Structure 1
Amino acid sequence: MIRHANADDLDTIAALHLAARATYYRGHVPEEEYAGPEEPARTRAAWSGAVGRGQVLCAERDGEVAGVAAYRPVDGVMTLTQLHVRPDRWRRGVGAELHAACLEAWRAEGVTTARLQVFDRNERAKAFYAAHGWTPDAGAPRSGTHLVLRLTVEAATE
């Protein structure tokens, strides 16, 4: 089930985010940058803002939040700012379901193009996005250690 996140989800979302980030940053980024003592509070505060804007979706499995996605316009372009799945729920369709729900929301808003950034060493995420039609942004393919990808949001078919 996909639903909008609420304030009661913040601790769960923050923990999920931190666990997912650790899997792809470990060994590539200094640990204090993704798991330092300030990260839990900083992460929760960032998610609180996103939840407050109403642009955070949760995927529930067995009564628990198994994945989360956040999006918002950035510089006039709809941006998938976060998409994380609990590592113990990988490869079970949670990410695909969240992605489809984002597309549905964007279509309802009339969005025709979307953007995201993915850590350049996160091979799992890069493969996921490529499989869902995301391609390198021709105008700005990189942002530091992240690749910038774009997606044309096709209109819903009847």
Structure 2
Amino acid sequence: MIRTHRPAGSLVIRTALAGEAAAIADLHVRARATYYPDGLPEDGLDWPALWRVAIERPDSHVLCGVRDGRLAAVASFRRDEGAPADSVKLFQFHVDPGHWRSGVGTSLHAACVEEWQADGVRTATLDVHVGNARAQAFYARQGWIPDPENPPAEDDHHLFLRYAVPGE
């Protein structure tokens, strides 16, 4: 089912379509490249194929923000294997750099929270690259806190955050 959220303005947040996987992967790469000072490292992954799998997975949610007919943001989440039934992991959350500080990310995050509330989720988790100060500040403004059950390892390049989903 395609759910659509219509925040104020020309932004529409809706379920992503499999045919958008390449455009989503392109946005993903552009957003990630901004926090690697030496350029995005080659990871050898076929991101369009991985996004298509995420979109088509029956247990996954992929939401995209579309402004004026163009992809502006994307979020992917699902229940993580072995995690409590009332929790979800936010695997990807990217805003096109051309839309930073325009409210797109905040609207997309609010749509994720609405989905989580509708699905009975109480806790969300994510990991964010230690070098991505912009994302860390964004998540802090949304109410995410360091995950006390998953402190960062000394040799890891990620911080683990937790979000208490407000009750409806």
Query: Same fold, TM exceeding 0.5?
Result: yes
Task: Write the distance in 2 (CA, Å) between the matches of 1:31 and 1:118.
Answer: 16
Secondary structure of the corresponding residue to residue 31 of structure 1: coil
In structure 2, the CA distance between the partners of 1:146 and 1:49, relative to structure 1 (3 Å rule), is: same
| Corresponding residue number in structure 2 for 1:145 | 157
Q: CA deviation at 1:92?
A: 0.4
Q: Among residues 98, 101, 123, which one is paired with 1:91 in the alignment?
A: 101
Question: Is the contact between residue 50 and residue 70 of structure 1 (CA under 8 Å) also seen in structure 2?
Answer: yes
- Does residue 107 of the first structure (1) align with residue 117 of the second (2)? yes
Q: Distance in 2 between matches of 1:30 and 1:112?
A: 34
What SS does the aligned partner of 1:142 have? Answer: coil
2:62 matched residue in structure 1: 56
Q: Is 1:47 matched up with 2:18?
A: no
Q: 5+ unaligned residues in a row in structure 2: which ranges?
A: 1-11
Output one character per residue of 1:91-130: Cα deviation in whole Å (capped at 9) or x when no partner.
1011111100000000001000010000011000000000
Q: Which amino acid aligns with 1:51?
A: I
**Equivalent of residue 133 in structure 1, options 143, 146, 151:** 143
Contact 1:141 1:149 in 2 (8 A): no
Deviations 1:65-105 (A, max 9, x none): 10000001113230010010111111101111110000000
Partner residue, 2:35: 24
SS in 2 for 1:44: helix
Residues 33 and 40 of structure 2 are in contact (CA less than 8 Å); yes or no, is this contact kept in structure 1?
no
SS in 1 for 2:76: strand
- Secondary structure (helix, strand or coil) at the match of 2:121 reads coil
Task: Give the aligned residue type for 1:49.
Answer: V
- TM normalised by structure 2 equals 0.84
User: What is the TM-score with the length of structure 1 in the denominator?
Assistant: 0.89
Partners of 1:89 and 1:133 lie apart in 2 by 21
For 2:88 and 2:24, locate their aligned partners in 1 and report how far apart those are by CA, in whole Å. 21
Aligned sequence identity (%): 47
Aligned to 1:15: 26
CA distance in 1, matches of 2:21, 2:149: 35
Q: 1:25 offset after TM fit, Å?
A: 2.1
Give the Cα–Cα distance (whole angstroms) in 1 for the partners of residues 125 and 41 of structure 2: 27
Q: Is the 8 A contact 2:130 2:159 kept in 1?
A: yes
Paired positions, count: 149
1:128-155: CA deviation from partner (whole Å, max 9, x where unpaired): 0000000001111226200000010011
Gapped regions of structure 1 (runs ≥ 5):
none
